[in-house]
């Protein structure tokens, strides 16, 4: 009989690689499977907020290309620019091939078995779960689906689509030394550079990661908005440019995160933040939570599923649900929002930065207090 792993983790992004690290550290036999050969490029701005970094069980300085202690939020009104600064790196810049591979190696050090270049095609459920990959079958007691926005595992395990997947474009751009010097000193978010969304400029070691994302699925010409953003940044010459398009799930699933021995984490679950579309920190967090739930349940798969959903309700979902409501308002009510930003913007960016660095979470009554503020201003 072939070996049966305690847990098979599908996908070696931040969610899966940290889950594998934590599971292996807790003594569970763990296999980490990815369809790609590693390291692999991942379409992502690579802006990693400090709340994710501070909770990692190991130092990642080796794969950080730049650190920013300040962030800048631009709007399409020239008189509205918000800036904030902290004593910790609010955003660390990483390239995802290096970053993800770094965590995978940490998982291997703890005893996880890596099977790269193994694409999952089918799942069969019996006494154990059989993963049918293009390189052969693997047997396991539990499956952690960390296979990203498209999550074939969730589909194979019977989930329907209840997340909100938004379109985004990422460009890895080499510019002239003068432009790079000017633009590499700040990390900036440009709200309204695209309808219902924002553009970003994230400086890496030798290039800029520039991108645009819209929170609506409406027909929006992302490429045209990216070109306009280059103009807004004053980029005169593009030396080289690699374009990548993908989707970001910015609303959690509404039909649960566990069934039949399969757990969903990271983008597969829809855990990217709805306001910022920042998904790395919640991917890591859900990877840790699933490992905690599985380890606490001592082999009882149903108990592990119930415990995981409980931990999500306590530690992840309330903030995501608040963020979802704030995002609908923030991107949908441009006029009122900009009016409020002019008056209270410094407080807003300061609060968001505290969330980014993990000093506070979004208050669950935030929408109620926003509505109160609007009433006070109008009447």
Interface ranges with ligand FAD (CB under 6 A): 10-16, 33-36, 42-47, 119-120, 146-148, 152, 168, 170, 211, 246, 248, 266-268, 272, 277-280, 283
Cα 355 to Cα 350: distance, rounded to the nearest angstrom: 9
Decide: residue 74, CB within 10 A, 0-12 exposed, 13-18 middle, 19+ buried.
buried
Q: How far apart are CA 322 and CA 320, in angstroms?
A: 5
Name the residue with tokens 């910022």.
276
Report, in Å, the least distance between residue 150 CB and ligand FAD.
6
Give the helix/strand (H/E) hosting 193. none
Kindly tell me which of 250 and 370 has the beta carbon lying closer to ligand FAD.
250
Residue 147 vs 292, nearer CB to ligand FAD: 147
Least separation, in Å, of the C-beta of 254 and ligand FAD? Answer: 18
| Least gap, CB of 371 to ligand FAD (angstroms) | 29
Least distance to ligand FAD, CB of residue 91, Å: 8
CA-CA distance, 25 to 29, in Å (whole number)? 10
CA dist 267 → 114, 145, 153, 274, 279 (Å): 21, 9, 12, 12, 7
Evaluate whether 123 touches 141 at the Cβ level (below 8 Å): no
Q: Which CB atom, from 192 or from 278, has the smaller least distance to ligand FAD?
A: 278
CB of 185 vs ligand FAD, minimal distance in Å: 18
* d(C-alpha 331, C-alpha 283), whole Å: 24
Kindly list the distances between the CA atom of residue 116 and the CA atoms of 119, 134, 280, in Å, as whole numbers in the listed order. Answer: 8, 11, 21
Nearer to ligand FAD, 11 or 345 (CB): 11
Query: Contact, 178 vs 237, CB < 8 A?
Result: no
Rounded to an integer, what distance in angstroms lies between the CA atom of residue 196 and that of residue 94?
26
Residue 113 or 367: which CB sits closer to ligand FAD? Answer: 113
Shortest-Cβ-distance residue relative to ligand FAD: 279
């Amino acid at each position: 009989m072939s070996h049966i792993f305690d847990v098979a983790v599908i996908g070696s992004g931040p969610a899966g690689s940290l889950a594998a690290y934590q599971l292996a550290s807790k003594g569970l036999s763990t296999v980490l499977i990815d369809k790609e050969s590693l390291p692999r490029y991942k379409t992502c701005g690579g802006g990693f907020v400090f709340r994710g970094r501070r909770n990692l069980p190991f130092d990642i300085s080796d794969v950080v290309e730049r650190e920013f202690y300040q962030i800048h939020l631009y709007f399409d009104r020239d008189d509205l620019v918000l800036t904030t600064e902290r004593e910790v790196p609010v955003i660390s810049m990483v390239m995802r091939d290096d970053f993800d591979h770094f965590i995978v190696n940490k998982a291997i050090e703890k005893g996880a078995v890596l099977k790269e270049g193994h694409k999952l095609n089918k799942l069969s459920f019996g006494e154990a779960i059989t993963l049918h990959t293009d390189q052969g079958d693997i047997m396991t007691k539990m499956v952690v689906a960390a296979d990203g926005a498209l999550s074939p595992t969730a589909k194979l395990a019977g989930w329907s689509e209840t997340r909100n997947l938004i379109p985004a474009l990422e460009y890895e751009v080499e510019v002239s030394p003068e432009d790079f010097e000017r633009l590499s000193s700040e990390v900036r978010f440009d709200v309204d550079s695209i309808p219902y969304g924002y553009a970003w400029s994230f400086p890496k070691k030798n290039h800029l990661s520039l991108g645009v994302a819209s929170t609506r699925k409406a027909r929006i010409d992302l490429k045209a908005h990216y070109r306009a953003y280059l103009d807004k940044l004053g980029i005169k010459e593009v030396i080289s440019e690699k374009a990548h398009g993908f989707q970001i799930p910015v609303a959690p699933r509404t039909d649960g995160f566990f069934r039949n021995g399969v757990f969903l984490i990271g983008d597969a679950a829809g855990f990217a933040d709805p306001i910022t579309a920042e998904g790395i920190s919640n991917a890591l967090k859900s990877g840790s939570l699933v490992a905690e739930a599985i380890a606490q349940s001592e082999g009882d798969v149903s108990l592990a599923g119930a415990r995981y959903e409980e931990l999500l309700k306590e530690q992840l979902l309330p903030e995501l649900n608040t963020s979802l409501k704030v995002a609908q308002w923030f991107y949908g009510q441009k006029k009122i929002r900009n009016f409020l930003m002019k008056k209270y913007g410094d407080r807003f960016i300061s609060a968001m930065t505290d969330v980014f660095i993990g000093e506070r979470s979004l208050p669950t009554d935030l929408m109620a207090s926003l509505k109160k503020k609007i009433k006070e201003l109008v009447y």
